[in-house]
Amino acid sequence: MAWLNYHHLLYFWTVARLGSVRAASEELNVSQPALSTQIRQLEERLEERLFEKDGRRLRLTEAGRLAYRYADEIFTLGREFQGELKGRPTGRPLRLVVGVSDVLPKLMVHRLLRPALGLEEPLRLSCREGRLGELVQALLAHEVDLVLSDVPCPPRTAPRAFNHLLGVCGVDLFAAPGLLKRHRGAFPAALDGAPLLLPAEGTALRRDLDTWFERQGLRPVVAGDFDDSALLKTFGSEGEGFFTAPAALAEEVCRSYGVRRVCGLEGLQERVYAISAARRLVHPAVVAILKNAKEEVFPA
């Protein structure tokens, strides 16, 4: 078995945490040359560069970020172990970092992640919102544990990422009561010429909606398009236009935004994926999320 020198790891962790060899040297009471030598030995042992020069500062490489995350866990556990021996309970919660694609409805994200906060074991949940490509890179760098997205990660983009389909549901149309009074008639045909709020161009749902309206021969007036789904619904709640949301969220959308469900858009579907860096998911919070998605959010 290849053993890891934890003295070397401690020196690396301290330099990474404080941002410089000089500061780490002062905290550890070890000379700077000795500290640099120890870190080089760790890099040789791991066969990976952990730092790279950025002007006068040191910057962690991708391998360095991974090493720092594990080192942080190791030394935190060490402190807790000593505390436990001395009868001081730590109460340290389990941690889950989730990357959330910015096109996903916030209500959907809450419904999917809610079971993680209901575990018997305390959990600290961290959510990071962004574009899928950025989130997948963070996933592969072990900066996040799971990514939620409306589309799967293409294999050519990240062959080491695994897609897990959480569920599929229809797409419903919603509107504020005042807007409905001004646009009477049979829907969805009554959408022709009506104001419509859409997701931003380039998103999967926007492409599907554009294609659907074209096939239906409908030409609504695009009153606005939005990167943020919650902002879109806020505008919709004020009667600025009709908008869509996943059918699985119909009750929550009506209750939260004071709008009415108008109709379903037949043939349109929304999908939600969980993307992981491992094929087998073992994190208890992730297991609870997947189970809830299939049984409660997207029941067959």
Q: Domain check: are 172 and 261 in the same one?
A: yes
Structure tokens, 52: 């790279």
Residue 58, class by beta-carbon neighbours within 10 Å (0-12 exposed, 13-18 middle, 19+ buried)? middle
Q: Domain check: are 202 and 143 in the same one?
A: no
Q: Which of 85, 110, 144 is the last residue of a domain?
A: 85
The two beta strands, 146-149 and 260-276, are antiparallel
Q: What was the pLDDT predicted at 1? A: 43
Q: Which of 37, 61, 85 is the last residue of a domain?
A: 85
Q: What is the CATH number of the domain that holds 51?
A: 1.10.10.10
Q: What was the pLDDT predicted at 249? A: 92
Structurally, the chain folds into a number of domains equal to 3
Cα dihedral: 135, 139, 140, 142 (round 10): 140
Q: Which domain holds residue 52?
A: 6-85
Q: Which of 85, 110, 126 is the last residue of a domain?
A: 85
pLDDT tens profile 181-238:
998 888 888 999 999 999 988 888 899 999 999 999 999 999 999 988 889 999 999 9
Q: Provide the whole-model pTM.
A: 0.68
Q: What is the CATH number of the domain that holds 187?
A: 3.40.190.290
Q: Domain check: are 52 and 114 in the same one?
A: no
**Is the residue at 1 inside a domain?**
no
Low-confidence residues in the chain, pLDDT < 70: 1-2, 80-93, 157-158, 300
Rounded-to-integer distance, Cα 194 and Cα 227, Å: 21
Q: Domain check: are 257 and 190 in the same one?
A: yes
